[in-house]
Amino acid sequence: MDLKKLYEECRTFRRFKQDEISKADITEALDMARISSCGMNAQKLRYIAVLNKDTVAKMQPLVKWAGFLPKELGTPKENECPTAYIAVLKSKDAGAFIDVDLGIATNTIVTMLYSKGIGSCILGSVNVAEAEKLLEVPEDLSLRLVIGIGYPDHKSSITEVTDDLKYRMDENRDYVVPKLDFDKVVKII
């Protein structure tokens, strides 16, 4: 897929078809995250890929969806939930650049997946204590965010900002996400 098209279309998805995601696709995305740029080449991020159906099901109540929408609209129903998760963990001795590293690695994962038609939702609102227990996260690591993964079951498009920055759902339950104008966010001198 053309890179510009990939970045335009790789949006957040919150409802998924229940088809399995292949281990090979997840592995390839994580392998690219593994070699992504990071401050001082410190490589302090770790990943847990959750493909096991029981564990995936146990992850569902530990994440919070779509803060701008009422729960009945924004939270996926049982047959719409992600079919896999990736937990992104950081080493407790990581330095000041770790959140930059985290952003680069997370974006690598979601764009790699999307290049195969697989959608995702980066989830920062996680019940960290319970998720760390479930995933048996080692003492020297802490869970920073999770990524819900699956084949998208809705569309999502960007639009210009008319009112505020809150994403919304249209009459087809597709997401519409306002983005600020280029001139508002970029100055070229």
Ligand X SMILES: Cc1cc2nc3c(=O)[nH]c(=O)nc-3n(C[C@H](O)[C@H](O)[C@H](O)COP(=O)(O)O)c2cc1C
Q: Which residues bind ligand X (CB under 6 A)?
A: 11-12, 14, 64-66, 121-125, 156, 167, 177
Strand partners, 124: none
β-strands 175-179, 156-160: how paired? parallel
CB closer to ligand X, 12 vs 83: 12
In whole angstroms, the minimum distance from the beta carbon of 75 to ligand X comes to: 8
Contact between 135 and 89 under an 8 Å Cβ cutoff? The reply is no
For residue 75, what are its two tokens? 């939270």
Determine how many CB atoms are found less than 10 A away from the CB of residue 20.
Answer: 12
Min CB(124)–ligand X separation in Å: 3
In the complex with ligand X, the residue whose CB is nearer, 15 or 44, is 15
42 versus 122: smaller Cβ distance to ligand X:
122
| Side-chain half-sphere CA neighbours of 66 within 13 A | 19
DSSP 8-class letter at 39: G
- The smaller minimum CB distance to ligand X, of residues 11 and 15, is found at 11
Say if residues 113 and 84 touch (Cβ distance below 8 Å). no
Min dist CB 37 to ligand X, Å, is 18
CB of 35 vs ligand X, minimal distance in Å: 21
* Minimum CB distance to ligand X smaller for 141 or for 145: 145
Query: Given the complex with ligand X, which of 22 and 157 has the nearer CB atom?
Result: 157
In the complex, minimum distance from the CB of residue 46 to ligand X, in angstroms, rounded to a whole number: 18
Q: How far is the CB of 121 from ligand X (least distance, A)?
A: 5
Long-range contacts of residues 71-78, Cβ cutoff 8 Å, at least 24 apart: 73/169, 73/173, 74/14, 74/169, 75/14, 76/14, 76/15, 76/16, 77/15
